[in-house]
Amino acid sequence: MAGETKGKRIDETVVAMRLAEAFRRHGVDHVFGQSIPSAFHLAAPHVGIRQIVYRTENAGGTMAVGYARVTRKVGVVTAQNGPAATLLVRPLAEALKASVPMVALVQDVARSQTDKNAFQEFDHLRLFDSCAKWVRRIEDASRIDDYVDMAFVAATSGRPGPAVLIVPVDLLIEAAGPAPLVPRKNQYGMAPLDRPTPDAAAIATAARLLAEAKAPLVIAGGGVHGSDASAELVRLQETFHLPVATTVMGKGTVSEHHPLSLGVVGYFMGEGGRSRDLRPLIDNADVVLLIGNRTNQNGTDSWSLYPNAATFIHLDVDPMEIGRNYEAVRLVGDARRGIRALGEAMAGLDLSRRVAARPAIEATIAAARAGWESLTARVRTQDAVPIRPERVMAVIDAALTPETIVTTDASYSSIWAANYLTAAEAGARFITPRGLAGLGWGLPLAIGASLARPGAPVITIVGDGGFGHVWSELETLKRLDLPVITIVLNNQILGYQKDSEDALYGEHTDAVYFAPVDHAKIAEACGIRGIRVEDGAALAGVLAEALASGKPAVIDVLTDSGAQPPVTVYAGKFASPF
């Protein structure tokens, strides 16, 4: 650790302690980090901050993402300068795209060694500029509180996202100077920091459009979870008779059992897609209310799903997202405040059209659900060898409780979960990496989520391709002794890559194949119970036992490599399992 003074004691007089105190003031009680910045981690326990030690920085950052998405508190991750810092780019980029409040504390070389090719010196300001909302390097001990406050405000205000604080190693052990005469009291560690209400005239226009529409539709995104606005959305849906669909990140904002809930819509509404037969409700919508919805490629099926002739209303805290892909009535503000204001405005309008339309909408949704259940019944219940992923999802779905948190890896894991697991209650949490959708994030997200909600059952669904990125974090899971159940869909291929190549080119590269791996034995090598399941009939009992144990476990399920989820562009490319 270049530039650090040997034998310097970390006490209340040094900057590291002042820094830890500032973080604690903003509600930080968990920090994901290895040993560096050592001075900070030595100081942090003295103010009530627990260090969660990861094995790799990219996984540690993703743990912070999972923690923040469950709590809406700022997830804090630390790293050393140089190669360790570069590994934070992935999770910070995910947080930036998915609107997750984070602060990364990165140690830098000593100030006197800057631009001298010190050990692992790197230009961190340029490194993080593309993947963070705000990046600063602290140079002066007297500005610690200023910069920490700014970092947390950046993370939690407006559209939440990651902020980065870079601290030279010598500054951490410098004398902090006298404490301020008036200690700071403000806390900025919970998102959303501010809750602006959209313009009243725009709210009135939107309310009138929804009340008078022939066929309105709400499509809720992850911004509803980020604003903790599920209760308000439920009231809007029920009181004003509005059908609600969600994006993958918005899954769980309303109950998927509600008679006006379409479920998840997007790029997987092909044969076997849970919401496939509800596409006419989208095609025929004349007014579409988007809430906390980025209108991204996957959520809109490459911008082909949403009806071009509809009038759009877009409620979002980020003004740049409104109108990005669909010209809309602009409701710039917090989702909770905006939904509440819409409800208040609609309450004074004639809702007879909404009341009259409701029975037909409910009948359409009920028929579509029944049709999906009938179509998929065989693949969801048969105990074939190898096991169909739909069968695995059915077993998981039956085991879910209102307290269960589900995380997934990217790729097929997210799609299977979005289609075949049910958000039985509003507020249910399904944490998927939909910012950049990188592989290897399911297990770290689960660790962060478990720490965020102690005692809650957590199930993570991963493919063998993604899981291979983070086997090392099984040691972390064992050390923390968290009740996380990892279900590996082990088909010995990169399924999405192989199937996409086959669909696009009629052939696939050699890179999609893996040698056989026994993930149960990897778990056992780390001291975690590992179970290999080859027959679907055994899975329910194995999962129930693992959940009842309150201990971590890895269930390695040998799944059918020929199973494709209902990705729309696959239509006609593969044999139907139905």
pTM: 0.95
Q: How many CB atoms lie within 10 A of CB 143?
A: 12
> pLDDT tens digits, residue range 265-299?
999 999 999 999 999 999 999 999 999 999 999 99
For the stretch 40-70, pLDDT in tens is 999 999 999 999 999 999 999 999 999 999 9
Q: How confident is the model at residue 516 (pLDDT cuts 50, 70, 90)?
A: very high
pLDDT for the residue numbered 4: 46
pLDDT tier at 188, thresholds 50, 70, 90: very high
In one-letter notation, the amino acid at residue 197 is T
Find the mean pLDDT for residues 458-470: 96
Flag whether pLDDT at 1 surpasses 50. no
- On the question of pLDDT at 3 being above 70, the answer is no
Buried b (16+ CB within 10 A) or exposed e, 470-487: bbebbbbbeebebbbbbb
Mean per-residue pLDDT, 131-140? 96
Q: Give the strands of the sheet with 405-408, arranged side by side.
A: 429-431, 405-408, 458-463, 484-490, 553-558, 529-533
The percent helix, strand, coil of the chain (3-state, each to 5) is 40, 15, 40
Q: Read off φ and ψ for residue 383, nearest 5 degrees.
A: -100, 60
Q: Evaluate whether 288 touches 309 at the Cβ level (below 8 Å).
A: no
Neighbours of 246 (CB within 10 A): 32
Main-chain dihedrals φ then ψ at residue 32, nearest 5 degrees:
-90, 115
Residue-level pLDDT at 5: 44
Give the DSSP per-residue string, 388-416. PHHHHHHHHHHH--TT-EEEE-STHHHHH
pLDDT band at 2 (very low <50, low <70, confident <90, very high): very low
* Integer Cα distance of 345 and 340 in angstroms: 9
Start-to-end CA span in the chain (Å): 60
Range 387-405 average pLDDT: 97
- pLDDT by residue (tens digit) across 74-128? 999 999 999 999 999 999 999 999 999 999 999 999 888 888 888 887 889 999 9
**pLDDT tens figures, 204-221:** 999 999 999 999 999 999
* Helix count and strand count (H, E) for the chain: 22, 18
pLDDT in tens, 481-509: 999 999 999 999 999 999 999 999 999 99
8: pLDDT strictly greater than 90: no
Q: What is the pLDDT of residues 414-431, one digit of tens each?
A: 999 999 999 999 999 999
pLDDT exceeds 60 at position 229:
yes
Give 398 or 35, the one with higher predicted confidence.
398
* Contact status, residue 108 vs residue 166, Cβ threshold 8 Å: yes
Name the strand (E) or helix (H) holding 264. Answer: strand 261-264
pLDDT at 7 (0 to 100):
55
Q: What does the pLDDT average to over 560-565?
A: 95
pLDDT at position 469: 95
Please give the share of the chain, as a percent, with pLDDT higher than 70.
99
pLDDT tens per residue, range 143-176: 999 999 999 999 999 999 999 999 999 999 988 8
Instruction: Give the pLDDT confidence score for residue 181 in this predicted structure.
Output: 75
CB atoms within 10 A of CB 301: 20
pLDDT for 35 equals: 86
Burial track 319-331 (b if 16+ CB lie within 10 A, e otherwise): eebbeebbebbbb
**Contact by Cβ (8 Å): 169, 6:** no
Strands (E), 141-286: 162-168, 216-220, 244-246, 261-264
Judge contact between 195 and 336, C-beta under 8 A: yes
Amino acid at 153: V
